[in-house]
Structure 1
Amino acid sequence: MRKATNGDAGFVRFVDVQKSYDGKTHVVKDLNLEIARGEFMTLLGPSGSGKTTCLMMLAGFETLSDGDILLDGASIGATPPQKRNIGMVFQSYALFPHMTIAENIAFPLEARGMGKADIKQRVDRALGMIRLESFGGRLPGQLSGGQQQRVALARALVFEPTLVLMDEPLGALDKQLREEMQYEIMHIQQRLGVTVVYVTHDQSEALTMSNRVAIFNGGRIQQLAAPKQIYEEPVNSFVARFIGENNRLNGKVRDIGGGACLVDVGQGESIRAAAINVSTPGQATTLSIRPERVAIGAAAAGAENCFDATIDEIVFHGDHLRVSATLCAQPGFVIKVPNGADVSIGGPGERIKIGWAARDCRALDQG
């Protein structure tokens, strides 16, 4: 888990922020969010969840319907975008095709009236930062997608902004290059200590790069926490379903107490779980269990929750086998078995024991 640079907890503050385009429906509702100086904060959620609108309000490209945004203690809710000293990196790169790489990086410095000697020094330093020292004279069209994205990042950082905003910056890249650029951006941010607010719908990016992740849905933050906590301890069914692969079993609470509960599922079976979003017997719930937390075969014996399941499908994924099974009359239960694990699985149609600890199973709201 990445740790943020020490700094002001409220370097960026959204205070009771609302956004509506028609005066009736709010795309952002009652947003209160603090971002520390030097933090890498990711706003994550599906399309239409409000994450990009929040970024655009912070950049100054969208007006607030209500509330305020503070940057380093000063209100910027009514400040024009060009006076906020904020760098921006977009999915489209937005490089000027007729300008050289050096000229693209120099553009925000020239716009600020900086002298030629200072501009050259900063551009040279920025090219070194992104490891493109010998590419300053080339045009954007002569660079690969990953190189262009690095140039866009350098241009956003060259004028030493107090804050850098990134809107789906890796969305146009292929999988391997996208993964490489995740580490590139992360290492540059760590080296410079700059504050980054990053918008994506890609959960892998969010978990890999962030100090904290804010999960958006319906214009509200559903959970705000470090990546490991978001993944291991989802607070509701939406977060559990949205982040990573997740087994979901529907049932009703039979008994509850001491932070734990017993849930009836399927045809007479019951499952022990941590009581997260349930409070009373008879309440409907959705149980959440991560596939990698499930043991299979002999390793399942003695688990607090141990059942016979029917294998429906086995798919090879390189580093693991993805076993899909029917459990408690509910199909689609997934187990991830590490490749090379000493376990006999069999094939489709066969019965096998599976099991998991009660602490790894979370009783959430019905979803």
Structure 2
Amino acid sequence: MVRLARWIGRAANYSVETSAFSKPVLGIETSCDETGVALLRWQPEAPGAGLLAHVLYSQITLHADYGGVVPELASRDHVRKLLPLVREALAQAGLTPAQLGGVAYTAGPGLVGALLVGAATGRALAWALGVPAIGVHHMEGHLLAPLLEDDPPTPPFVALLVSGGHSLLVEVADIGRYRILGDTLDDAAGEAFDKTAKLMGLPYPGGPALARLAEQGRPGVFRFARPMTDRPGLDFSFSGLKTQVLLAWQSSAQDEQTRADIARAFEEAIVDTLVIKCRRALQATGATRLVIAGGVGANRRLRAALADAGAREGFRTHFPRPAFCTDNGAMIALAGAMRLAHGQHQGEAVAVFPRWDLETLPPP
């Protein structure tokens, strides 16, 4: 814990003592189809211990009839749910708005309408309360989510950020010092899960449904390629794998056991590909710590495979709890509180960035 506090203090050329931000920070997440709100009091030596409240509303039911997220509906639902969730989080923590020290909100990347709801609300609250506000990079929030756990990682480390919209391998030298090692060339891993599930007729949201079905599949009945592992590099491509699954499904009996067998083979191909790329990234950077975050980070087969690889090859893996793998307000409150504690904040303009390069973030 002391080492973590020294790292965070050193990252911004502030001492931990002089940069203390003792009042709670409100975190708001509205980048896609989940409305997340959290309250966190910044504690450099143990960030997770400062989490005071965490509430989350998912729009799964709203979008289920459409088989995917409808941006306009997502934005309108954030408008309806955000302030009630803020009130709920304050009540859960036993706080009043006047006791807040700052507001952090997701400024990007994400759906522009959804982002604007959180940004406008966050900026308005900050202005009304006379406290600083900061827009947080969604992927930095995911990257820092493991710091909420009891054994937080310290840099340098490699981070695998895998979700419905992103598949990134990032070298983390320090907070705000990020280098993209690998990116997706087409479908992200989570997107491939969802699209594959949909083509096999699984209910929305498809990714978790496919993972559950894969547990009933028989090993070795089908085998699919491990995309882009037969050549150098750390980029990802999963669209071809999705096509392989489609062809296998169309030429099969399409019964329940076949569906489960294909789901298992697909999941194994995704997991093996991610593990191979992670091992390459660790070897290329010399890092001995690996952080896994994002919605796909909750996948049990992926967690087990990376833990086994780490035990064999001598690297440590750090996962946030499953509730903090998916989009949530706690990770935004943490990332925002960390930067606010070191003097960063933004003006009164409401600005969001649907596309936002992680490498362009400044250090705190």
State the TM bucket, normalised to the shorter chain.
under 0.3
Instruction: Please identify the structure whose Cα radius of gyration is greater.
Output: 1
Name the structure where strand makes up a greater proportion of residues: 1
Name the structure where helix makes up a greater proportion of residues: 2
Higher RCO structure (Cα 8 Å, ≥6 apart): 2
